[in-house]
Amino acid sequence: SEEVSNDKISADLMEHVVKPVVPEKYLDEKTLYHMNPSGRFVIGGPHSDAGLTGRKPIVDTYGGWASHGGGALSGKDATKTDRSGSYAARWIAKSLVANGYCARCQVQLSYAIGLSHPMSVRVDTYGTCTNKNGMAERDLVRMVETKFDLRPGCIVKELDLRRPIMRKTAAYGHFGREEEEFKWEKVKEI
């Protein structure tokens, strides 16, 4: 409703959702709360998002092999983290495997509208972590956050996503292709 302020929404979420659901031992002065970080969201439903931005994500990515959050890649510009974040996750995973940190891996990045850094970074090596340089799987996230700038604007710049290259992604998917323009398929030395 347009009459309800973002402060009221935040207070109600805290009182009626967070406190009843999250055990008190997990909430302290260091806990960060992101409740509508981009501000009020008044217009919803088909007026704001008709779901017509692109193909099904599974078609554009890995088929049925990897988990997917649901946002389409095709039809969105590169500033949208559905697209740029997916490219960054692919780039990171390929780089971790190629640099010998694991034999197999999945990288998950979670973004919130209005926040520049991902809310969550997860690396799952499916038990194939090699402990290269003494790094256990739990250490890989810290390394990823150090070696890759995961702010959307930095991903766009690093992978040069403003170039007119997206037509090639319209067929045969976005990943696993050796197109020169697809910088997310190029391994970064880490």
Q: Which amino acid is at 81?
A: T
Report whether 107 contacts 92 (CB < 8 A). yes
Q: How confident is the model at residue 112 (pLDDT cuts 50, 70, 90)?
A: confident
Residue 121 φ then ψ, to 5°: -130, 130
Lowest mean pLDDT among 3-17, 75-89, 151-165: 75-89
- pLDDT recorded at residue 47: 57
Specify the higher pLDDT residue, 163 or 132. Answer: 132
d(CA 59, CA 56): 6
Mean pLDDT of the chain: 84
pLDDT of 123 > 90? The answer is: yes
Question: Could you count the other beta carbons within 10 Å of the beta carbon of residue 95?
Answer: 21
d(CA 87, CA 174): 8
Q: Tell me: the pLDDT tens digits for 13-58?
A: 999 999 999 999 999 999 988 888 777 777 666 555 555 555 455 5
Burial call 31-58: b when 16+ CB within 10 Å, e when fewer: eeeeeeeeeeeeeeeeeeeeeebbeebe
- pLDDT recorded at residue 140: 96
Q: Please give the model's pTM, rounded to 2 decimal places.
A: 0.73
Strand stretches in the chain, DSSP E: 106-110, 120-124
d(CA 129, CA 101): 6
Instruction: Determine the average pLDDT of the residues in 85-112.
Output: 94
- pLDDT recorded at residue 107: 94
Q: Tell me: the pLDDT tens digits for 130-161?
A: 999 999 999 999 999 999 999 999 999 999 98
pLDDT of 114 > 60? The answer is: yes
Instruction: Determine the average pLDDT of the residues in 122-137.
Output: 94
Q: Which amino acid is at 144?
A: V
- pLDDT recorded at residue 185: 93
Contacting residues for 113 by C-beta, under 8 A, at least 6 apart: 37, 38
